[in-house]
Amino acid sequence: MRTFEVVLVGMVVVFAVLILLSVCIKIYSAIVSRISSRKNGSGNNDNPVKKNVSETTVVNPSPVLSQPQQGLNPEVIAVIAAAIAASMGGSGSDIKVRSIRRIGHTTPIWNVAGRNEYILTRL
């Protein structure tokens, strides 16, 4: 009887505490994001930067269609631009990123398999 009591109380407490934690995380995440969005709204600091980046940016190498930037943050754009600059060599100052578009997987399946193998050895 006592054994079942330990098991029951144990599981209920573990679940209760973790559920409570997850609720708290949700609540404070919401509060934090609301506060930060209010700050951004009033200060209007981030928006011009975003616009700037999306207007001046581009993918040079592949034939890419232009598309409005949706949810693509400046960091991702910077990373993509840096990767292109690095792979093309040179200073990178002659590259203009006009648009960034997600394209379907065109990589041969063996390349994907090889890449996955490699990633697994690094995990």
Partner 1 sequence: MWQDFVKAISGIIQESGFANMTPLHFVMILIACVFLYLAIVKKYEPLLLVPISFGMLAANLPLGGLMNPHLWDANPIDYMAILREGGLFDLLYLGVKLGIYPPVIFLGIGVMTDFGPLISNPKSLLLGAAAQFGIFGTYLGAMALGNFTEKQAASIAIIGGADGPTAIWLTTQLAPELLGPIALAAYSYMALVPVIQPPIMKALTTKKERAIVMEQLRPVSKAEKILFPIIVTILTILIIPSAAPLISMLMLGNLFRESGVVGRLSETAENALINIVTIFLGLTVGATASADKLSQPGFGLKALAIIGLGLIAFSVGTATGVLFGKLMNWISGGKINPLIGSAGVSAVPMAARVSQKVGQESNPQNFLLMHAMGPNVAGVIGSAIAAGVLLYMVG
Nearest to 85 by CA among 58, 110, 108: 58
Nearest to 97 by CA among 120, 110, 78: 78
Nearer to partner 1, 79 or 112 (CB): 112
Q: Which of 21, 49, 78, 82 binds partner 1 (CB under 8 A)?
A: 21
- DSSP 8-state secondary structure symbol assigned to residue 1: -
Q: Which of residues 77-96 bind partner 1 (CB under 8 A)?
A: none
Q: Which of 63, 70, 90, 105 binds partner 1 (CB under 8 A)?
A: 105
Helix (H, G, I), strand (E, B) or coil at 57: strand
Q: Which of 34, 49, 67, 120 binds partner 1 (CB under 8 A)?
A: 120
